Amino acid sequence: MRLLRGELRKLIRRPASRITLIIQVGIIVLIYVAVAASFRTLSQTTTTNAEQSRAGIRLLLTFPGAYAGVIGLITQLGGLLAIGYGASAAGADWGWGMVKVAVARGESRSRYILAKLVAVLLMIGVGMIISFMIGVLVAIIAALIAGIDLSGIGDGSVVGQLPEQMLRGWWGIAEEATIGFAIATFARSQLAGLGAGIALYFVESFSTLFLPDVVRYLPFHVASSALRLTAVGGGGGGGGGGSTALDPGLSLVLVTVYLVIAAIASAVIIERAEISG
């Protein structure tokens, strides 16, 4: 607990924590403002395409389905940002010599790196909750701007499922962050970890064009399909592409497997690393 508290204090003070959250919230706000503005503009057009676009926007902004839209948006954006955040947290300590200091104090290497990882995942959870609250508020404002009724906002059958959906979303993002964390630990560099993690993310996404039945079992796709978002057409997924999503239960198991493997890899890497001087 001492190590965990120390890592949380460090992450709270680091600019990366604030910048990552600001980027996520900023993009969410921009998307909903643009959607609301588009709806008002399309209302002045009577073409078939305009009608279809309005129907899609209305589906996104109509509660209770809008809750699923917010969670889906958070997990899509959050997955990519989490890779960078995890890589930044793991790689920065190598550049600043913090790993050397911790080892010199007699800390267990694996306990040190795993405490840092847990702190990263907890910070991501807090950021996800903040993003969700802001996202719902912005969705409400966008719906009001578009003139869409808010009568479904208190639907108990959907609101009651939100904690489970948030936990599933967080666990998927945690898996992606852990992969970025492990890559940066291996590379001993936040930039290398960030670059390699994002490259893997996009390679997996584009691979759906060629190997859709294989890609759906890979880390970033199972993180998306672990959600049970059915209220908004297509559900929430981070780069699902044209592949058929796995069953959410199986996806959750695979997410856990990938997360554990990446966490163990981080611990093994730091135990075997040569830390001189």
* Res. 173: pLDDT tops 70: yes
- Provide the residue range defining the domain that includes 154: 2-272
In a domain, 266, yes or no: yes
In a domain, 197, yes or no: yes
User: Would you state the pLDDT for residue 93?
Assistant: 72
In a domain, 31, yes or no: yes
Cβ-based neighbours of 19, under 8 Å, separated by 6 or more: none
pLDDT tier at 99, thresholds 50, 70, 90: low
In a domain, 241, yes or no: yes
In a domain, 277, yes or no: no
Q: Torsion angle of alpha carbons 252, 255, 259, 265, nearest 10°?
A: 140
* Res. 128: pLDDT tops 70: yes
Alpha-carbon distance of 70 to 47, in angstroms, equals 28
Taking residues 99-106, report their average pLDDT.
66
The total number of residues shown for the chain amounts to 277
Task: Tell me what the pLDDT averaged over the chain comes to.
Answer: 84
Model confidence pLDDT, tens digit, residues 231-249: 443 333 333 444 567 888 9
Q: What is the pTM of this model?
A: 0.85
pLDDT tier at 46, thresholds 50, 70, 90: low
User: Would you state the pLDDT for residue 1?
Assistant: 75
* Res. 151: pLDDT tops 70: yes
Give the count of domains, the chain.
1
Alpha-carbon distance of 275 to 224, in angstroms, equals 37
